[in-house]
Structure 1
Amino acid sequence: MRCLALILAAGLIWITTPKLMAETVIAAGTIRGQSLIMASDVATAPGMTPGALSDPADAIGMEAAVNLYAGRPIRPGDLRPPAIIERNAIVTIRYDHGALTIVAEGRAMDRAAAGEALRVMNLSSRSTVIAIAATPGLVTVGP
């Protein structure tokens, strides 16, 4: 009988512990859109807000997609991967197809994170192409 009581007590602790430890990630201060989020920019508040982040690690290193205000919960839609290509930046456009490689200089018309599509104007021909942000300063076009 005593073993059953210990098992039940352990089960109750296990069931109630996650509820007691639930936290919501909030902005520690106002964070402007397009700012990189650092550990000092986020805090946790007790309790769970539906749709909000519960782990600060999910926000740290991301970029604010919108302005985030102090004390308000941070939701996944409020964040995006950090941009590696800034609007109006001069970038290298690279086209690879088999053994053929063509490189040109271009101007980014949009901001983009790694793997995102953006418009780039070829500075030689003045034509605009859709490219993929590969690394800082490098975009790729084609297959």
Structure 2
Amino acid sequence: MRGLIFLLLMLPQPMLAGSVVANRTLPAGTVISAGDVSLVDNQQEGGEILEKILGQQLRVMVYQGRRIDPSTLTPPTLVGRNQIVTIAYERDALRIEAEGRALSAGSAGQIIRVMNNASRVTVSGRVAPGGTIVVQQN
């Protein structure tokens, strides 16, 4: 049964108007750049699709010449598990920063748990676009 599924996956996929295909084999976790993909048919809606795909991260491997399905994309991971990060607490004009270790991976806007390296206290915070974890008051 697995062999049949594998064979079906290896068959050529039909190209759709405005489809985005991989220029090379892209492993899972690749953040898509302009050189990694190309449009099959240059139509206006194809350009909009391309803009949505650029900067996204693949969840699965995509082989060269295959269409990239938007459902296989996620926002790029900014913080990896066990990565040393800056924990920031902000309130009005006050900003306190400490060094911590991320206990899970996260992309911009996600809430993850972080352990303060100095005190060993675990807190939750939102991943900022720069990779800093911003802790908010409860």
Query: Does TM-score exceed 0.5, indicating one fold?
Result: yes
1:53-90 deviation line (CA, Å, top 9, x unaligned) = 97322212222122222232212221122222233221
Unaligned runs of 5+ in 1: 1-20, 47-52
1:14-66 deviation line (CA, Å, top 9, x unaligned) = xxxxxxx92211222221122121112112335xxxxxx97322212222122
Q: Which has the larger radius of gyration?
A: 1
The structure 2 residue matched to 1:26, chosen from 21, 24, 40, is 21
Q: Aligned residue for 2:37? A: 42
Unaligned runs of 5+ in 2: 1-15, 42-46
Q: Aligned residue for 2:81? A: 87
Counterpart AA for 2:59 = A
Deviation at 1:98, TM superposition (A): 4.2
SS of residue matched to 2:68: coil
Alignment of 1:48-67 (within 5 A): 55-67=49-61
Q: Structure 1 CA distance, aligned partners of 2:62 and 2:121?
A: 37
Counterpart AA for 2:111 = A
Distance 1:101-1:23 versus aligned 2 partners, 3 A rule: closer
Deviation at 1:137, TM superposition (A): 4.1
The structure 1 residue matched to 2:97, chosen from 91, 103, 125, is 103
Count of residues in correspondence between the two structures: 117
Deviation at 1:119, TM superposition (A): 2.0
**CA RMSD after TM alignment:** 2.5
Does structure 2 conserve the Cα–Cα contact (< 8 Å) formed by 1:22 and 1:54?
no
Q: Aligned residue for 2:72? A: 78
TM-score norm. by structure 2 comes to 0.69
